[in-house]
Amino acid sequence: MRVPEILTRVMPADKWLHIALGIVWLFAAMVSYWVLQFFGPGAFLAYHTTTFALLYEVNQAVRKEGQPDPLDAAATAAPGWLAWGVLAAA
């Protein structure tokens, strides 16, 4: 992702990317709160870890650090889904 030159005069591109990711994460957190209220803590954990995993992989792709991989995202999200299963079985 390329940050417009006019913005990089004010602040480094890396900082703008952090701000953008923070805004995306804010919306994801608002949805997480809604999921928690309506579906309970298990669904909240599954949604939250999945969202984090996907955003982390997108961040890797944007910054060209590491190799974005769907299996990495699945491995990051798996504990939340496992927790949902354990909570549902309890």
Per-residue pLDDT of the chain (90 residues; tens, 9 = 90+): 677 888 788 888 778 888 888 898 889 889 989 999 999 999 999 999 999 999 889 888 888 888 889 999 999 999 999 999 999 998
First and final CA of the chain: distance in angstroms?
Answer: 44
Specify the pTM.
0.75
**3-class secondary structure, 9:** coil
Exposure pattern of 33-58 as b/e (b: 16+ CB <10 Å)? Answer: eebbeeeeebbbbbbbbbbbbbbbbe
